[in-house]
Structure 1
């Protein structure tokens, strides 16, 4: 299934980060990490930005946000947001001029691009359109996501054991817990790919931290009373080499030389 078909027929993308406790935690921590590093006000390119879930709050923070996405319906929704411009496009072949943005977000493309050469092209394009010293924020999905999710939910069946092991070993995710086939990273792999694209000062952060499976198991109704504990755990473990891959998502932050 191609991306446009998946996003047209699957659950609404603009509510993805609100449907589950770990999605809400991902949203809060992504905000927290981006605000930590973004200059302000900045010219931001949100490549693969979907319906503008992050572009909306970034624009409200005073940034000038331009969103690019391969799904026309996403682009139409994003273009209606205050302070956001949007166009249909591909992170591997951006239309923006060289050195035209202060920051580039790749919060979806790197896991959708299963070929390493395509991920390298997307990172090279991000570097091209960034000004010297500009900020890259690139997300990956952790290879351990389905292991932790299924184990916590009690759905790690004998039939699922082989694909769970396979994605941990190879990064090739086959869709066994939903979603389309994608590439899942380790923190070390994500760091290596970003550095190989010529970026400097590369750091990788765990987004949700180790408590997200427990939040999901507890349910949305208790999320408000438990989220601060989960956020605290995420901050403690965000760069711990023994725990970083327990996050469902990883965020690489780097600079164009």
Structure 2
């Protein structure tokens, strides 16, 4: 890719060469273009609002230099830039880079979470709100987290999103799809191994890795980061069949979001959420406790 930083206002220098090419089925899944608006409609809004809520508390009000790794079409980069942060986004999908590069205050480039082009200690916070979803090998996940640790300044914040091990089962039970033998077999295999295998017959999601909540802090620590907080995003609310109606009602939505904030870090409830955020720090602030 040519360095678009000299020709396109919303671009930054391209990332380092990828250690391995993005799997074709994953690239094809995201080239469908659904990521630009997916979190802004229906029950997906719950994940968006909860991610926004947790990140705003962790980042604070002081403008920061943020690297949004695997930031997709910029769904979170947009509001982060609107909050006054300086946001660079890297993503391995060309369509996402093109879309994110059009957002005000966001610089975007092709890049791989496992081989960032960023200089050492160059960001106040590094976000991985998607890369760990698709790195099925532990060595690759550790490599991505180590790259985040390298790019963040001492004492800086790293936040990673993961899909919970039982998310597929919960979702398919909610929609009654779990009763279909083929879909159930694929989901049960993912619960056993953590790996959701690609299926030509099932377009709901592509090749992915589903974490156990307790495994994420261990990966942080091995990559040189000290985890200090975990936050279940959707709690049990995403399993309610009429959740969209509650989210449409401002008063009911406020009640739901408050309930989820109250229970977001209860250890016994972390695995109920579809998605989990884990936060850690590098260097002298590694022992910092959650300041919620």
| Shorter-chain TM-score tier | over 0.9
What are the Cα deviations for residues 71-107 of structure 1, in whole angstroms up to 9, with x where unaligned?
Answer: 1111111111111111111111111100000000000
Quick check: 2:26–2:207 contact (8 Å CA) kept in 1? Answer: no
Structure 2 residue 56 is the aligned partner of structure 1 residue 35:
yes
Partner of residue 71, structure 1:
93
Partner of residue 246, structure 1:
272
CA distance in 2, matches of 1:143, 1:19: 24
Q: Which runs of 5+ in 1 are unaligned?
A: none
Partner of residue 187, structure 2:
164
Aligned residues: 253
Runs of 4+ aligned structure 1 residues displaced above 3 Å come to 219-222
Q: Which runs of 5+ in 2 are unaligned?
A: 1-23, 284-292
Looking at CA atoms only, which structure, 1 or 2, has the larger radius of gyration? 2
CA distance in 1, matches of 2:268, 2:90: 35
Quick check: 1:110–1:140 contact (8 Å CA) kept in 2? Answer: yes
Aligned residue for 1:2, secondary structure, equals helix
Q: Report the structure, 1 or 2, having the larger helix content.
A: 1
TM-score (normalizing by structure 1): 0.93
Partner of residue 223, structure 2:
197
Quick check: 1:68–1:90 contact (8 Å CA) kept in 2? Answer: yes
Structure 2 residue 73 is the aligned partner of structure 1 residue 47:
no
CA distance in 1, matches of 2:189, 2:203: 13
Aligned residue for 1:56, secondary structure, equals helix
What RMSD over aligned residues (CA atoms) do the two structures have, in Å?
1.6
From 110, 134, 137, the counterpart of 1:112: 134
TM-score (normalizing by structure 2): 0.82
